[in-house]
Structure formats: C-alpha cells, structure tokens
Structure 1
Amino acid sequence: MRLHRWLVVVLLLALIVTCDSPDPGRYPVHRDIVATTFWVGEVFDPDAPDGSQVLSAYDSSWLENYGGCDGIIVDGTCQTEPRRPDNDYFPTAMTPRENPFYLDLPYDDVNDPRGFADRDRIVPWAGEPRYRAYSGDRSVSYLKNRWVRITRGNRTCYGQIQDAGPGEYYDHEYVFGTARPANRRYNNAGMDVSPALNGCLGFTELNGQRDLVDWQFVDDDEVPPGPWTRIVTTRQVTQP
C-alpha cells in the first residue's frame, strides 16, 4: 500500500511539472544540423547567383546597411576573423549598424514565388497581428529579424534571420517541420551562421562544414539579454 501511494505521488508531481513547463511543440527543435559560416561582405563564388553576401535575400544593400565588411579586409577581400567573448564576439575592425548575431535558413518568403504565395499558410506566426497586416506585401518578410536559439554542446546563443539559404529557398518541411534539410551542398548544411555566432558557439573552424548544432525558433520574449541584444536589427526588406 505504501509503495502504491508513493507511485501516485510521483505521477502527480510529474503531471504538475509537465503542466507548468513551456510547450516544447510550438516550434520544433532541429537536432544535429550542419551549420556553416557566412558573413556580410563575403564573396565565395562571384559566378553563382547566391555566391555573394554583399546583398542578402532581404536586403539589396546589406553591406552598406550593415556598415561594411563583417570581418577584416585582406588584399582587398572581405575575410572572416576569430571572435572573442571579451569583445562580445563583435568584429574588431568595424562598428556594425545591425546585429552581428545573424543567420539564414532555407525559406525565402519574399523572392521565391512559392515561399511568398504559401507563407500565410506555412509560417507558424503568420497569423500574428504584426504580420497579418502585411499579407500580400513583399516589402515585409515574415522571416527577416525573427529570433532563433542555437545550441552546440553546452553553449547556447541567439541570432536573427537576415538571409535565406543555404542552397535551398523553399524547404518548408525542414524549416517549419521535422524533416532533415533538403540541401545537399556544403556537407548538407541546414543553416549559415555569422562569425559572431561561430565564436559564441565555439565552432571548431572559422569557415568549415563540420560543426553540428541544434536550433529552434523562439519568440521575442524568450530571448534573454546577451551580446546578441546589444544591437537588434529592425530594418525590413530593402529591394533595388
């Protein structure tokens, strides 16, 4: 009888804890995703339509609006650099005008015809008032500036979406669902992260294709203070 009562108490406590815990299902957690590194001003393939980070899917003047090369200039080329916690992982040779903690995901809700047509149906937060008011308006992206929590090992950092990719632009089953990334380039990468996030997460390489992360969308009120909130990007879509 005592054992039976003890089991009942344990089950009740477990139920209470479960009810009081945040709903983990609002946004799926994507686990063991290859994350590569990109940076504002990078040109890794001048012959490819998506081979330059001088502009982004959402900002045709990204380099100018950000404030310049997010790194160091070497022989006239914008290169990445190691980032340090004592500088909040900010660049050493320039002062950014926008959040240096940025990333991309493979769903373009402005330029991709399917992404734009389907975003009101597919994007989980499309029904929120601040987005619903811009249904059918390409001057506002539902993805740009959204926050993402990224974890690697025992490190957790936060960043804002500022571009689309890598390799795919309508991979909604991965971005908003539970599928693996459809991209087969760059070691099947499912995300690019900025140098600040590279340093914050302790990546093994400055510009590699082997680091794995877990990531999840988060709402604004779930983002804790940190170096990623020193500058918060609010600029919306900038087209030619």
Structure 2
Amino acid sequence: MNTSITFSGFLGLALSGVVMGMSLSERLEVTHEAFLEDRREALSGLSDPFGVPEAARVVLENPKDAFRSEYAWKRNVVTTVFWIGEQPTQNNPTPNDKSAWDQNWQLNYGGYDDPNQREGFLPKNFIPNLNPFYVALPYNDIGKDFRHRPEAAQVIPWFWERYQGEGISVCKGRWIAIHHDGRICYAQWEDVGPFETDHYQYVFGNENARSNRNEGAGLDISPAVRDYLKMGSGERVEWKFVEDYEVPEGPWKFNGIEPPLPIHR
C-alpha cells in the first residue's frame, strides 16, 4: 500500500471516509508517515528533520602549527643591565624606584636589587616579593593620558586576550625567552626602555632598535638574568615572546616566598 501522504492530506482522507476502511496498523502507519512528511516540508533547510545541528568542527590548515610559537627570535640585540632602585646616570636618566606600570616598584619588590651584592640569583640581604627575572622593552601600551595608546589593539598580538580594562597594561608580566651563548633564560616584561617608550615597530615588528647612547640597545635585563646567562652589559642576545605554557621550570618560576632552586651549571 502506498503511504506517501502529507498530514493535511491524511486529514482530508479521514474526513472523506477512505481511512475508515483501513486496519488499525495501516491507519497508524499512514498517520506516522504523514506526520514525518509534514515535518520535512516545514524544515526543508535542515539535513536532520528534527533540527539537531551538526557538531562543530575545527579545521587546521597545517596540524604541525598547532603548538608552534608564533613569535620569531629578534637577533643581534644589544642588551644592557638595569635594576630596581637604580639611580639616574648619564646612560640611564630615569630612576628605577618606579616602573612604567608600578609607581611603588622598589617598595613592592621589597628593596634595592643590588647588582653587586648577590645571593645566587637574588639580592643578598632579602628575598624579594616579585620575580627577580625581569626585563624592559621600549614600548609602553599605556599613554600619558593613562589610556591605551591608539595603536595598541592593532599591534599587540595578545591585546584582546589579556585586556582587563582601560589603563591596565596588557604588556606587564609578559614572558620572553633570551638566548646568549648557548643558554636560554626566561623573564617577565616589567618596565619600559631602554630610552624609547613607543617603538612598537621593533618590539612587535621587524624593525631594529633605534640608535641611542647605549649603542642601539633594545633590551634591559635584570641582574638575575645577567647572572644566569653569564653575560655583561653591552653584549648581544636573541630574544622572543613566549606563551605562559612554553616557560619551563627554572629559577624564573619564583613565588616570592622561597629562593629559586639553583641550576647545575
């Protein structure tokens, strides 16, 4: 028996008396098929007549890129040493008791990060409250009006991932990797310099650091970074941004409570 009939057609047949001559099982079959046919017509745009969407699918153009860092090494960068509490000099005109993002940097750190009096990677006389592995790069995402610079959202790759509101830096605390003479150190971006505050073309792009009185220095490192890399001020390094999950265990994973574990050299 042909049961291809719409639900409205079935009602017409019922009224005309045709269905009355069918058995109970035949009437149930026709009723069910008529209902399904009516649903297909009403939802013809769906592959599933009951409207269940397909599971979402993620397509990677190159699966090998899924866990590859997107940031390239910046090479041959002149690097100078600076420290929390450093007083102004001819080559460092800005005192470092404050940072670009912390008006009480030295106080919050716990004291003067003496570059000459060290206990391992820490200042000799106290355990700091903040990570002693810190750096400065020549870009401040916060302008003099205490708002994000106009270009910040366009040039900072992670801007919207880290955005917490107007005037709150998305650069502060960002991790970088620094390579020198076969050793790699990790540190957090905590201040702005050397000298420049707006050179996003270098920090996030392909330009070289601008000329300055420190031979075109493009990176400031803390005494702890200096000591780990066994280097002096004015030497050249490679550096790049890294994601949090890419930072391995090491003395830079500092909790402000216990001294960092020594690294066997």
> Which TM class, normalised by the smaller chain length?
0.7 to 0.9
- Which of the pair has more CA radius of gyration? 2
Distance 1:22 1:32, change over 3 A: farther
Following TM superposition, by how much is the alpha carbon of 1:117 offset from its aligned partner in structure 2, in angstroms?
1.9
Q: Which residue of 2 aligns with 1:118?
A: 151
Structure 1: 5+ residue stretches without partners: 1-17, 72-79, 233-240
Match of 1:65 among 89, 99, 108: 108
Q: Note the 1:217-232 alignment, pairs <5 A.
A: 217-231=241-255
Q: Deviations over 1:21-44 (max 9, x none)?
A: 8535x1121001011000000003
Report if the CA contact (8 A) 2:117-2:124 is conserved.
no
Q: Matched residue of 1:228: which SS?
A: coil
Q: Deviations over 1:168-207 (max 9, x none)?
A: 111111100111001422111001000000001111x3xx
Distance 1:82 1:55, change over 3 A: same
Following TM superposition, by how much is the alpha carbon of 1:112 offset from its aligned partner in structure 2, in angstroms?
5.0
For residues 215 and 116 of structure 1, the distance between their equivalents in structure 2, rounded to whole angstroms, comes to 24
Following TM superposition, by how much is the alpha carbon of 1:20 offset from its aligned partner in structure 2, in angstroms?
6.5
Report if the CA contact (8 A) 1:40-1:69 is conserved.
yes
For residues 28 and 98 of structure 1, the distance between their equivalents in structure 2, rounded to whole angstroms, comes to 28
For residues 111 and 64 of structure 1, the distance between their equivalents in structure 2, rounded to whole angstroms, comes to 24
For residues 144 and 199 of structure 2, the distance between their equivalents in structure 1, rounded to whole angstroms, comes to 11
TM-score by length of 2: 0.67
Following TM superposition, by how much is the alpha carbon of 1:153 offset from its aligned partner in structure 2, in angstroms?
1.2
Amino acid at match of 2:135: L
For residues 194 and 116 of structure 2, the distance between their equivalents in structure 1, rounded to whole angstroms, comes to 21
Match of 1:190 among 196, 218, 226: 218
Cα RMSD of the aligned pairs, angstroms, is 2.5
Q: Matched residue of 1:121: which SS?
A: helix
Report if the CA contact (8 A) 1:56-1:163 is conserved.
yes
For residues 107 and 220 of structure 2, the distance between their equivalents in structure 1, rounded to whole angstroms, comes to 20
For residues 137 and 241 of structure 2, the distance between their equivalents in structure 1, rounded to whole angstroms, comes to 11
- Which structure has more relative contact order (CA 8 Å, sep 6+)? It is 1
Match of 2:180 among 139, 143, 152: 152
For residues 115 and 152 of structure 1, the distance between their equivalents in structure 2, rounded to whole angstroms, comes to 33
Structure 2: 5+ residue stretches without partners: 1-62, 257-265
Q: Which residue of 1 aligns with 2:138?
A: 106
Distance 1:112 1:34, change over 3 A: farther
Q: Matched residue of 2:227: which SS?
A: helix
For residues 117 and 131 of structure 2, the distance between their equivalents in structure 1, rounded to whole angstroms, comes to 17
For residues 115 and 202 of structure 1, the distance between their equivalents in structure 2, rounded to whole angstroms, comes to 36
Following TM superposition, by how much is the alpha carbon of 1:62 offset from its aligned partner in structure 2, in angstroms?
0.6
What is the number of residues matched between the two proteins?
194
Amino acid at match of 1:125: W
Report if the CA contact (8 A) 1:70-1:94 is conserved.
no
User: Is residue 116 of structure 2 the alignment partner of residue 81 of structure 1?
Assistant: yes
Q: Which residue of 2 aligns with 1:235?
A: none
Q: Deviations over 1:139-189 (max 9, x none)?
A: x10110000000001110000011001011111111001110014221110
User: Is residue 73 of structure 2 the alignment partner of residue 29 of structure 1?
Assistant: yes
For residues 117 and 106 of structure 2, the distance between their equivalents in structure 1, rounded to whole angstroms, comes to 20
